[in-house]
């Protein structure tokens, strides 16, 4: 399936899709489970919108990427760090983890845990990093 098309399908279901800006080149086709990848895309987009400052943009970059000599695809979701602050890098993918300042927002602490687990199940990886005032979550999947 086309990863880019899957991202646009999930964006269309958001309450405020106009906040999501997608930067992509060519179509990126991967051989994977489209329903499971759709769950990951939804989790990453919902988290980025929920935890970024109101009205700020969320950016998505889709690209083909080789890792450890394996062809695959990368989905990078970036947002500004909002009032909940930066998540604990060592706990962000743990089951039920929620940043202390995020406790006022609805959620179960399962979205990123499921994202990492599904990525692993599909042979890929979910990672995150903080750059200045922005946070990036990346999904890499083998083709």
74, 139 in Cβ contact below 8 A? Answer: yes
CA distance linking residue 86 with residue 139, whole number of Å: 19
pLDDT in tens, 112-121: 999 999 999 9
Query: Whose CA is closest to 30, among 22, 20, 40?
Result: 40
Report the mean per-residue pLDDT for the chain.
92
59, 77 in Cβ contact below 8 A? Answer: yes
Query: Any residues with CB less than 8 A from the CB of 68 and at least 6 apart, and which?
Result: none
The alpha carbon of 68 is separated from its chain's Cα centroid by a whole number of angstroms, namely 21
Question: What is the model's pTM?
Answer: 0.92
> What element of type H or E holds 111?
helix 111-121
Query: Any residues with CB less than 8 A from the CB of 128 and at least 6 apart, and which?
Result: 87, 89, 92, 93, 135, 136, 137, 138
pLDDT in tens, 119-141: 999 999 999 999 989 999 999 99
What does the pLDDT average to over 87-94?
89
Model pLDDT, residue 85: 86
């Amino acid at each position: 399936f086309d990863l880019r098309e899957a991202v646009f399908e999930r964006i269309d279901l958001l309450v405020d899709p106009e906040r999501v800006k997608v930067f992509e080149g060519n179509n990126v086709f991967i051989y994977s489970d489209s329903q499971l990848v759709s769950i990951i895309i939804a989790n990453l987009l919902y988290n980025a919108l929920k935890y970024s400052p109101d009205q700020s943009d969320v950016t998505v970059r889709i690209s083909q990427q080789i890792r450890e000599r394996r062809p695959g695809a990368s989905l990078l979701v970036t947002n500004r760090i909002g009032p909940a602050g930066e998540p604990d890098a060592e706990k962000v993918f743990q089951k039920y983890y929620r940043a202390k300042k995020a406790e006022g927002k609805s959620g179960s602490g399962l979205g990123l845990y499921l994202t990492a687990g599904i990525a692993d199940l599909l042979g890929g990886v979910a990672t995150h990093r903080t750059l200045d005032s922005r946070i990036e979550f990346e999904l890499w999947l083998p083709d």
